[in-house]
Structure 1
Amino acid sequence: MRVEQGFQQVPFHEGNAYVHDPVLPSLLRRIIPSRLFTEEIEPELERFGAEVTTSIRAQASQNRVSPPVLRQYDNWGRRVDELQTSEGWRSLKATAQREGIPGIFYERKYREHSRSFGFAKAFLMVGDSHEVFCPLSMTDGAARVIELMGTEGMKRDIFPRLISRDPSSAFVAGQWMTERAGGSDVSQTETTASPLDSSDQLDGFKWFSSATDGDVALALARTGPLDSGSKSLSLFFVPLRVPLVVNGSKVTASPTSNGIHVHRLKNKIGTHTLPTAELSLESTTAYLIGSANQGVKNIAPVLNITRVWSAAGSIGSLRKCLAIATAYATVRKIDGGKRMLKDVPIHVANLASINLVYRALTHFLFGVVVLLGRVECGIATEEEQNRLRMFTPILKAFATEKAVPAMEESMAALGGQGYMEENDIGRMIRDCLVERIWEGTTTVLSIDLLRSTTDPAKLRQFISWCNSIILACPPDLLKCVQEAIQLLQWRLDSLLAAFLHPVPPLLARPSLMFMGYIASSIYLLEHATWSRTRGEPELEVDAEVFRRWVFDGGFAAVEQELDRARSEHKLANASNTVIVFGHAKL
């Protein structure tokens, strides 16, 4: 039989990425003022949603996107460190810049809603982006740092290029923190800074640097003794090449012109298209940002922004995986061609469980994005600022822990076709695995959360916010979800006990996940209340999503883990050591 003969599977069609999304249109309609949303933002998202599944997906095709190649020496044996990236990578990055990423955030045409609009565009594209939003998220963070504490020269000459919509003149920024000695522990940073007349000179080795094909970077370097740990680190602006600009035009200087040498590209499990490298800095010219010996504090805006981006990358990739699985169910026939998968209850139930995770994570993400927009525009209350500080590590860890298993379920929903590279689910899973590590593992972020909750007043503010949304629940909605609300309130009551300081070490991780479930549940309830009050078409669905998430979303398992860790942490710690290392090696 010829391959053209016999059964031929009908291809699935996802449709407009925005219009057909089960969450985003109604969510944005709730958080953005009606006239602004209807007249300006939604038409733009509808246009862009069509672009995502047509022209942008074409740019991301496997024959246009390939891993970077490092050419260290020319044919005369000279060190050139020429990094060659694929046409598709460059095209995707340029498309994002033209679409206003990260420009939308800093043009602030829509004031505090600029963050919601910009993240919505990135959210729709991220599954097809091959990780171009990794360097662009760091560019976003670098722009914020310079906006807050850059010199007048940086604000005049660098900031406009970081947020430019013109790819030919726009700068892309990296951030260089990770070194061989410490990983996430920057206290062991070996890179040193020596003052010059009008700049500084860096010498050291950066073990993991994304955006190696960028233009500039923010780097930590030591300006005091090594035994001072992170207290003697300062933040520096580093041009990857000099000069960056000649007569107002962006130029391509020698890759080694600022004493930066690329020793090798990292051989990673995923993010194969993203150029990540090991770099040495040898008499590299750099410029101090902010006060000396305040480097960890000064780079915090980058970390906070990129952690939100990390969550967006995981959830946005889940969006695409779920869209594929849903569309496939509408064309795949089983039972001898008698039934579509969409008519098989057990299959639809599985898709609904994936959908539940997606909805909860998306509402949590944009809840944090709203806070970020308000803080950046200077209109956030002190309570909102504290909530953003608390929610950022929770969101990043919670989303990256929950998204990949749901992506794997989406893959399985296609059967054998799900395991094929052509549908792109495998690449997205590999790429998103890094989000559990990049910008802090769940363990690191759990410890960060504990630091943000040392003041009991901040935790009480969070509980007060939760209760205010519960109390706003209208009576007719309350009848439908009363048992779920009661259970959520009981869990809120136990939250303070989980964060009684000093918190036992084994409670840190389940406490973060517990708060992730609470926060995402509250955002779902807030949306269900809005939907019911407005008489939205999906009011019944929104109520059921909240109810199911509280009862069936995995909340109970985390609660049990938290209770067990609280009561058995001393015994468990000793047992864990024996299980891992054995008696003989203690």
Structure 2
Amino acid sequence: MTQAPFATHDVLNQSPPFEDVNLFTLDRPLVDAVRAAAGDGAQDELATFGGHWGSAAMAERGRIANENGPKLRLFDAKGFRRDVVEFHPAYHELMAHSAHGGLHNSTWTPDGRLAGGSAEVIRAAKFFIAAQVETGHLCPITMTRAAVGALAIDPALLAAVMPVLGTRSYDPAFAPWPQKRGMTMGMGMTEKQGGTDVRANMTRAEPDGDAYRITGHKWFMSAPMCDAFLVLAQAKGGLTCFFMPRFTPDGRVNEIHFQRLKDKLGNRSNASSEVEFTGAYALRLGEEGRGVPTIIQMVSLTRQDCAIASSGLMRSGLAHALHHARHRSVFQKHLADQPLMRSVLADMALHVEASTALTIRLCHSFDRAPADAGEAARMRLLTPVVKYWTCKSAPGFLYEAMECLGGNGYVEDGILARHYREAPVNAIWEGSGNVMCLDVLRALGREQDAAQAVLAGLAGETAGLSGAAEAVAFIAKALRGGDSERLARAAVERLALLAAAAALNGIHPAHAELFARTRLTDARGDFYGSADLSVEDSRGLLARALPES
């Protein structure tokens, strides 16, 4: 008699899949942060979004898109140059669902003005949720949204683009953007010799009638199948920003030649390329020599999304770890009831709750900045601070979440290994940690009074919290001193912790005090689980993080 394969064992003591859940309503810290940031009117919309993105079908799309990455096709069967990137249908489905949710355009009106209200907060909550399912496809989504900020400098071009970019349709066809139902936009800034120092770029731009011809290369061209790109090149008047479509106005494929796709640690579903321009058609965006100020309107928004995505990844890591620990038994007790594991999970939950509050509070500043000078200053100062802290926190946090699942967390069958590989890119893209610290110093130098007012506001919002007064004094001294660059990382990290405590204090004062006591003082060790949290505190944190079914 032939024995059936795997007949000698049953599958026991394994946690069920964390799917077919509502990624919004189950996340009490997110629900409360959105409410505190004037997003209460969108609760039903976000609950619908959270239920859809928490489905098993969406999780499966994320898995398949990462296991079947993009492929570069330089030529067709007859030898004609094509320069196209092919994606698995699961990737296109993810893009379509994000576009339908407005992740690429909901902060703008159909004519490209700021949508106002709580548009940034509502969109951030959706982006936070989508990042928990599949982060790679969000690269072209965030660049498309952010590009509108730079396009606003050219009202005529913006007016032409918005009827296509402003739809909630995703159109993957390789065709001129004016002919499509919807469009996406990418970005090309980095060159081999310069990296962060874009003023060292060597790509050249020569006038050609009302347009320009671009010749040169980019070491990183994000999302190469986008319909158009914002590109930096050296014109006669200096470094300039250009709008470069995939097709020229007469319908020919533009002279944008991909050399290869990057073989990245993570971000596998998304394509990043090296590219060569051989007289590529482009339109000037802004004045010659004003390339950096023009494109920085885009970069501030993409940095915001790096922080949102990192916070979302950490939230997902916590949810999967806590879900597993509540179902997995070891030594006759569930893991979540073991004192050591409970301490680790509660400490992680406290970090995620503070990160969520901080990120959504920053987006609230983006909403209010046009009408409130104080919020505008807060947005400018804290955007690099929040990106620095959340993005640099995520890899270590996700390692801890993987460890909570043991060997199951380390294998590629689960989502945490993918999250772990995904996390580092947000700290690198759109400015590394050192660049963020330098941007904080620049903000302090250019707008010293406004920045000091922000710091004073944070001091008021954290008054009475453990270690807050000492943190304010350290930040002020470190950032104003003659040795500020050497101390910038320490000061920026402290500023992020202070801002997180302030944001959390407006939502859950008791947890704000826990966060301040364990982060702003010396009451915590180097790793999660070393904070002195009582059994009652731990239970409260975990109940808010993920209600038990």
**Category of TM-score, reference length = shorter chain:** 0.7 to 0.9
Q: TM-score, normalised by structure 1?
A: 0.82
Question: Residues of 2 paired with 1:354 and 1:559: CA distance?
Answer: 13
Post-superposition Cα deviations, 1:405-438, rounded to whole Å, max 9, x if no partner, equal 1111111111111112122111111111111111
2:479 to 499, 506, 524: 499
CA offsets 1:482-538 (integer angstroms, 9 cap, x no match): 5xx25211221232211124334321221211111111111112223xxxxxxxxxx
Deviation at 1:558, TM superposition (A): 12
Go from structure 1 to structure 2 and tell me whether the alpha carbon gap of 1:288 and 1:555 turns closer, same or farther (over 3 Å shift): farther
CA distance in 2, matches of 1:238, 1:555: 51
Query: Equivalent residue for 2:531?
Result: none
1:106 correspondence with 2:72: no
1:348 and 2:342 are equivalent in the alignment: yes
Report the counterpart of residue 479 of structure 1 in structure 2: none
> What SS does structure 2 have at the residue aligned with 1:319?
helix
Shift of 1:127: 2.0
1:335-370 CA distance string (max 9 Å, x none): 1xx321122121111001111111111111111101
Residue in 1 aligned with 2:272? 276
Separation in 1, partners of 2:218, 2:523:
40
Does 2:360 match 1:366? yes
1:206 paired residue among 215, 218, 225: 218
For 2:11 and 2:296, the matched residues in 1 are separated by: 56
Amino-acid identity (%):
25
In terms of fraction of residues, the more helix-rich structure is: 1
Q: Distance in 1 between matches of 2:311 and 2:499?
A: 16
The answer to whether residue 467 in structure 2 is matched with residue 487 in structure 1 is yes
**Which stretches of structure 1, 4 residues or longer, exceed 6 Å deviation after superposition?**
557-560
Matched residues in 1 for 2:202 and 2:380: separation?
29
Do residues 412 (structure 1) and 417 (structure 2) align?
A: no
Letter in 1 for 2:382: F
- State the distance in 1 between where 2:298 and 2:95 align: 19
- Conservation of the 8 A alpha-carbon contact between 2:468 and 2:520: no
Aligned equivalent of 1:155: 158
**Amino acid of the structure 2 residue aligned with 1:213:** M
The residue number in structure 1 matching 2:493 is: 513
Hey, what does 2:455 align to over in structure 1? Answer: 463
User: Amino acid of the residue matched to residue 161 of structure 2?
Assistant: I
For the 8 Å contact 1:357–1:403, the answer to whether it is kept is: no
Question: Which residue matches 2:318?
Answer: 322
Q: How many pairs are equivalent?
A: 506
Higher relative contact order (CA 8 A, sep 6+): 2
**C-alpha separation in 2, matches of 1:499 and 1:162:** 41
For the structure 1 residues 57 and 493, does the alpha-carbon distance in structure 2 shift closer, same or farther, using more than 3 Å as the test?
Answer: same
Please state if 1:259 is matched with 2:255: yes
Q: CA RMSD in A?
A: 2.3
Q: Deviations over 1:152-196 (max 9, x none)?
A: 1x2222123223201131111111110011001001111111111
> 2:34 aligns to what?
28
Superposition deviation, residue 224 in structure 1: 3.0
Aligned AA for 1:179?
Answer: E
8 A Cα contact 1:400 1:436, kept in partner: yes
Within-5 A mapping of 1:330-341: 330-335=326-331, 338-341=332-335
Q: Which residue of 2 aligns with 1:170?
A: 182
Gapped runs of 5+ residues in structure 2? 172-180, 527-549
What code does the residue aligned with 2:316 have?
A: K
- Distance in 2 between the 1:559 and 1:202 partners? 53
Aligned to 2:13: 9
- Displacement of 1:453: 0.6
The answer to whether the 8 Å contact 1:263/1:279 transfers is yes
1:19 matched residue in structure 2: 25
Cα distance in 1, alignment partners of residues 162 and 10 from structure 2: 59
Equivalent residue number for residue 299 of structure 1: 295
**1:558/1:310 Cα in 2 relative to 1: closer, same or farther (>3 Å)?**
farther
Find the residue that maps to 1:505 and give its secondary structure: coil
Q: Whole-Å Cα distance in 1 between the matches of residues 319 and 224 of structure 2? A: 32
**For residue 366 of structure 1, what is the amino acid of its counterpart?**
I
Output the CA distance in 1 between the equivalents of 2:525 and 2:328: 39
Question: Per the alignment, in what secondary structure is the counterpart of residue 180 of structure 1?
Answer: coil
Which of 111, 118, 122 does residue 123 from structure 2 map onto?
Answer: 118
Q: Structure 2 CA distance, aligned partners of 1:33 and 1:83?
A: 38
